[in-house]
């Protein structure tokens, strides 16, 4: 407990699923938490549910694919918190299509949210971290970045890009006291996963050695580790809580 006491964290896509579980775990560890989400009501509700006498929370609406939206949200958070210590880039979308049938717009949307959004939010958080010589950036990728999947080429490509971005940024900022790492969850029982077509979901679950989807509370401890001083020697790493879908 209290491994993040005195820290100020930002979790994008923090109103539900893995993002909310991470935000909740951070709050339990003593961090103030800002919830960023594309839906204002959801962000506000999530932030209120985590606020206590010891933990301050803030809600902000953001479209992570749009620079001006990201700039406005981070300005709001910095005004409320003073600075940002920890950023979790979790916001993302999930759609299905064979490449031969995929509209270019579907590909572009995936790259804008799942990859460009990681870049924009990291860019917004970095100046303050560099100035203070301390920071943690945790990017949520996917096990599909390692193995791919039919009908998910755009998703796997974006998530593989997140890993490449993570490693490259880690080289740039580690000497400034900032660690950058990625988490690659396997199939997790979230709204996003449940919205995938049932046949695809059933095939995926049948492949898993563990035989089931994961829970969000099985992912959050990895984020706590990477955010805390205990994770200080992880640099450009990719951690893989995925039920055995990819054994690395």
Residue-range domain boundaries for the chain: 8-231
Q: Output the pLDDT for position 1.
A: 77
Q: What backbone torsions phi and psi does residue 66 show, to the nearest 5 degrees?
A: -115, 120
* Ramachandran assignment for 6, one of left (phi > 0), alpha (psi -120 to 50 degrees), beta (any other): left
In the chain, % of residues over pLDDT 70: 100
pTM equals: 0.95
Number of Cβ within 10 Å of residue 6's Cβ equals 9
In this model, does residue 158 exceed pLDDT 80? yes
Cα–Cα dist 243/222, whole Å: 14
Tokens of 73: 């949200």
Q: Output the pLDDT for position 197.
A: 82
Q: Output the pLDDT for position 8.
A: 98
Cα–Cα dist 59/74, whole Å: 11
Q: Are 34 and 81 in contact (CB under 8 A)?
A: yes
234 annotated active-site:
no
Averaged pLDDT, 199-213: 89
Placement of tokens 């401890």 in the chain: 221
Q: Are 102 and 143 in contact (CB under 8 A)?
A: no
Tokens of 129: 């971290």
What fold is seen in the domain 8-231?
Rossmann fold (3.40.50)
Q: Which of 155, 171, 233, 234 is catalytic?
A: 155
């Amino acid at each position: 407990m209290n491994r993040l006491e005195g820290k100020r964290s930002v979790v994008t896509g923090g109103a539900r699923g893995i993002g909310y579980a991470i935000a909740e775990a951070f709050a339990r560890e003593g961090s103030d938490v800002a919830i960023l989400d594309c839906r204002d009501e959801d962000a506000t509700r999530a932030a209120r549910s985590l606020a206590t006498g010891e933990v301050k929370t803030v809600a902000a609406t953001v479209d992570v694919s749009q620079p001006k939206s990201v700039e406005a949200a981070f300005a709001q958070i910095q005004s409320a918190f003073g600075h940002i210590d920890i950023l979790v880039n979790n916001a993302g979308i999930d759609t299905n299509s064979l490449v031969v049938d995929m509209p270019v717009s579907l590909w572009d949307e995936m790259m804008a949210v799942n990859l460009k959004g990681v870049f924009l939010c990291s860019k917004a958080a970095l100046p303050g971290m560099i100035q203070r010589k301390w920071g943690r950036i945790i990017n949520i990728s996917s096990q599909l970045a390692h193995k791919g999947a039919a009908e998910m080429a755009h998703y796997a490509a974006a998530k593989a890009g997140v890993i490449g971005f993570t490693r490259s940024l880690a080289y740039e900022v580690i000497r400034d006291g900032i660690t950058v790492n990625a988490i690659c969850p396997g199939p997790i029982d979230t709204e996003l996963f449940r919205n995938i077509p049932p046949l695809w979901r059933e095939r995926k679950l049948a492949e898993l050695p563990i035989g089931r989807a994961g829970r969000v509370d099985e992912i959050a401890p990895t984020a706590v580790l990477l955010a805390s001083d205990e994770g200080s020697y992880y640099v450009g790493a990719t951690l893989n809580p995925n039920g055995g879908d990819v054994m690395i």
